[in-house]
Amino acid sequence: MVLAILYKAVIPADLLEYEIPKTEASIQTVNAARREAAEIIQQLDDRLLVVVGPCSIHDPQSALDYGTALRQVADRLGNELLIVMRAYLEKPQTSAGWKGFINDPYLNGTFEINKGLRMARQLCVDLTDRGVPLATEFLGALSPLYLADLMSVSAIGARTAESPLHRELASSVPFPVGFHNATSRDVRTAVEAIQAASTQHQFISVTPEGRSAIASTPGNKSCFTVLRGALSGTDNETEEVHSAIAQLREANQNPVVMIDCSRDNTLRDACDQLQIVQDVSALIAKGERAIIGTMIESNLVEGRQDVPLEGFSHLKHGLSITNGCIGWGGTVGALESLATAVQERRRIFAKSN
């Protein structure tokens, strides 16, 4: 028996951008955050890059509400933190399950991908227009054509960090990209991915108009390592951080790391993220300069929910449907703790100079 692949037409990326263009405010938000994030990663700016927000977005209105609240905190703590909202619109799956807002925006298995692309782009324009810079994890090789112009930071997950396609993708985008270390917590894969992404590549791709083409990329000099496990399960709380730094130096790469406060650091217990934030804050307050950022899974309401049988309209507002998240009160406290740690790190280096 021969299995046939069914194809449906997808809207070209350039047409979607024409239908839902960036605003002037969006452009300013995106470009300013790209520049500032790159300066933090290159240690030209001593602030902390904090990528915080829902594990994955499933409801545009709750995402807008979250972004509006986050913007107020970002303005208040802007001297210490560059806060970028998680806008994760594709969901990695190790088994069957919801594949994210772009693939299945109505959460019912209808896979209205064209509608998902339109809704996702409109949301990203609305958020950046409000002054909220965005970060995402690109899973599909073509989805960046539709949304990359609205992103200021991106991440490549542990399961795709070894993918040549994603390394080539990272080499092509004009913003910082973080590579997670492996699910085994080994850093070698992330270091090799940074090496690959920093160089030029040529490969078969697709243009925004939907035509096949040979892409030539310049290489991305603002890639960095994201540690999904670094502060748990070790006798020395800095052991894995310093090991990662040593490997990056040996590979002649920028010796800085971002700590993912969820994942292996908490064994996926959302509430434990607050303890990891305190641990990260303590390291920064002691003067640790190699830590340039953190990731936090956060939402308006703590915890998570399953999609009810009644459907989308019966979901609780601001509550994750994927990984559990810390709530808004905990989020504000975590961000304030990180900001205080940056202030203390500055005082240490001011005294030493």
Per-residue pLDDT reduced to its tens digit, 83-116: 999 999 998 765 568 899 999 999 998 999 999 9
Question: How many domains does the chain divide into?
Answer: 1
Residue pair 84/134 in contact by the 8 Å Cβ criterion: yes
Residue 236: φ, ψ to 5°: -110, 120
Answer with the residue of higher pLDDT: 195 or 3.
195
178 token code pair: 């973080």
Per the structure block, which two tokens stand in for 318?
């601001």
Task: Give the domain extent around 348.
Answer: 13-352
Distance CA 297, CA 293 (A): 14
H helix runs in 157-197, sequence order: 164-172, 188-197
Residue 5 domain flag:
no
pLDDT-wise least confident of 208-222, 253-267, 333-347: 253-267
Average pLDDT over residues 223-247: 77
Q: How confident is the model at residue 10 (pLDDT cuts 50, 70, 90)?
A: very high
* 89: CATH: 3.20.20.70
In a domain, 6, yes or no: no
Rounded to an integer, the average pLDDT of 156-166 is 92
Residues near 309 by beta carbon (within 8 Å), at least 6 away in sequence: none
Average pLDDT over residues 338-344: 98
Q: Does a structural domain hold residue 128?
A: yes
Report pLDDT for 203.
93
Tokens read off for 142: 């073509």
Q: Is residue 4, in this structure, part of any structural domain at all?
A: no
Confidence label for 235 from pLDDT (cuts 50, 70 and 90): very low
Higher pLDDT, 11 or 141: 11
In the chain, count of helices (H) and strands (E)? 10, 10
- Residue 7 in domain: no
CA distances from 169 to 158, 222, 243, 270 (A): 15, 13, 27, 30
Q: How much of the chain, in percent, has pLDDT values that exceed 90?
A: 81
What is the distance between the alpha carbons of residues 253 and 247, in angstroms, rounded to a whole number? Answer: 9
How high does pLDDT run on average in the chain? 92
* Domain assignment of residue 2, yes or no: no
Residue 77 is given by DSSP the state T
Average pLDDT over every residue of 230-249: 74
| Residue 328 in domain | yes
Burial of 6 (0-12, 13-18, 19+ CB in 10 A): exposed
Which residues, including other chains, have CB under 8 Å from residue 203's CB and lie 6 or more apart? 168, 214, 215
What's the pLDDT band for 3 if we cut at 50, 70, 90? confident
pLDDT at 4: 83
Residue 135 has pLDDT above 70, yes or no: yes
Helix residue ranges, H only, 56-187? 60-76, 113-129, 144-147, 164-172
Is pLDDT at 171 greater than 50 in this prediction?
yes
Please give the pLDDT value at position 206: 93
- What is the predicted pLDDT for the residue at 182? 87
- Report CA Rg, the chain: 20
Tokens 């298995």, located at residue? 109
Task: Kindly give the interhelix angle for 60-76 and 113-129, rounded to the nearest 10 degrees.
Answer: 20
For residue 238, pLDDT over 60 is answered with: yes
Per-residue confidence (pLDDT) for residue 265, from 0 to 100: 66
**What confidence score (pLDDT) does residue 229 get?**
66
Count of CA atoms in the C-beta half-sphere (13 A) of 128: 32
Question: Quick one: pLDDT at residue 234?
Answer: 47
Q: Is the pLDDT of residue 236 over 70?
A: no
How large is the average pLDDT for residues 221-225?
A: 96
Out of 10-24, 28-42, 175-189, which region has the weakest mean confidence (pLDDT)? 175-189
